[in-house]
A and B are shown apart, each in its own frame.
Chain A
């Protein structure tokens, strides 16, 4: 079984490696280096998972299986990048799935009203950003806990999506079933389109997080909000900005996904599943719920891990009802490992 074999292999590099390092050779020292990264444990877990499925199934390492993995993992990675920016603040955005669901309908509405393709997309994305502004204002200025504010937004947008669409799927502008044009090729329809978007967005945002003022202010607001304000950081502005980023990315992925599937379906339960997977990817990837620390690349690998697990278990023929069970167990194991590795990294007694 995926889970047990993973658990057996992992503690070797994960647990005692740092202590045994002086006596051991190059492999262990590389493992040690790896584990000093925030993303260390998830990289190891993902590799182990990959190797496990590669060995135990005959058709896991194929182009086809990779391609069917993409639509699962790339959207998660992009939305999770925004969610990480919010989670580092010590907040959470529960409305990312709802924005993902809602934005394509806005696009449809404005296109239907006569706006050309690109302007209507831009307006839909501006509306997504506006939703982020509202989230941010509720949290930063009104002072509502982000969990509550964005939960309200989640229901509001789910409801609005159902109302606007009359609970029926709509055909997406700029796409035709069975024909992929240039526009669709770029915005989600091409096989690797979402992958390229995901990699590009993740790289840019990781750079922003690690090497820009915005990044260290985000860490500051999450790590010590009062201290950040005393130092002169406009903490509320950072809060609003990061909620806007999360909403924008969610809306954008919404558009990519409906272009890929050529229709927009008002399915709140599907979008809420995406919310949960996004949060799981972020946390598995090494981002703290408590704020002050997080990684975009980690979230991408977290999404990859979740995608691989789903894909691998499906290939192994695990029945649908067991899939979630195994997923849950694997997530718990990955998280536990994260905590252990973090303790080793930060120093015992912490974490």
Chain B
């Protein structure tokens, strides 16, 4: 198994299921000289929670940002509910029912909690489109209560809140919209155990309701096995494993990562790069720390 994890050696080809809502085939994306993702094949079944795993710099956030309409893919095709899917913008993706919690949360420190919660979905009066702050505050309170996160005042700028509270607001913003495909890029990174459990409960509840399908980038295997139906693992911009969580184990996933480090160290010693794309996987990074993409 470990040998198969070599990038380029064992690339998971396009896979599909009859009830897929989202399918990604051979998607690649470069930023100038850096190849962020080389060849990604993914699929997401209706009502499923898919874990997207991989080392820092593997290309997870880039894949999420392509799905969310923030980046355009260089090559490859995507399908949404059977239709070709190529979002023109974040708004366009949202109009297609795809909404995202970005790794950096996309919150504006200076704005209040409720303005952040409704950023780009503001409630306004008519006919003069001034903001309906009262309505937004009321709905914001409801959305946050639903998650169970405690934010004392909705009027304070989010700069004053803790990392976990900010993350909860970003999650609440996405979940309270009417998206039926939700992408979460490390939604638990800044959270303590208690807040993390709240978000996992929320995911479980959404899953039980069966209306949304979820892709989640996680680093903690406990969370993966607690919350997800299937895992896709990215290494150096390609998918090297795609399995239901019931058919894999912490040991198998760990083994792949350990093998990647071993390979990286070997490559470093022999003076080579770590592979075709692995600019960042050559660096011994801490796999549990949140990385900054931009």
Contact = CB atoms under 8 A, between A and B. Distances in A.
Nearest to A291: B110
A322 interface: no
Contacts of B160: 347
Contact of B120 (A212, A223, A226, A231): A231
A293 interface: yes
A212 B131 contact: yes
A216 B130 contact: no
Contacts of A127: none
A232 interface: yes
28 contacts: A207-B130, A212-B129, A212-B130, A213-B122, A213-B124, A219-B108, A220-B111, A220-B119, A223-B108, A223-B110, A223-B111, A224-B107, A224-B109, A226-B106, A227-B102, A227-B104, A227-B107, A229-B70, A230-B68, A230-B90, A230-B104, A231-B119, A231-B120, A232-B89, A232-B94, A232-B119, A232-B120, A292-B108
B91 interface: yes
Which secondary structure characterizes the binding site on chain B? loop
- Interface size class, chain A: 20 to 34
Contact of B294 (A220, A226, A292): A226
A230 B110 contact: no
Contact of B106 (A222, A227, A234): A227
Interface of B: 68, 70, 89-91, 94, 100, 102, 104-111, 115, 119-120, 122, 124, 129-131, 133, 160, 294
Contacts, number: 71
Given A228-B108, A230-B102, A233-B120, A211 B91 contact: no
Contacts of A224: 106-109
Contacts of A216: 108, 111, 115, 119, 122, 131
Given A216-B131, A224-B109, 10 more contacts: A211-B131, A220-B111, A222-B110, A226-B104, A227-B106, A227-B107, A230-B68, A230-B90, A231-B120, A234-B89
B212 to A, nearest CB: 19
Interface in A281-312: 292-293
B167 to A, nearest CB: 13
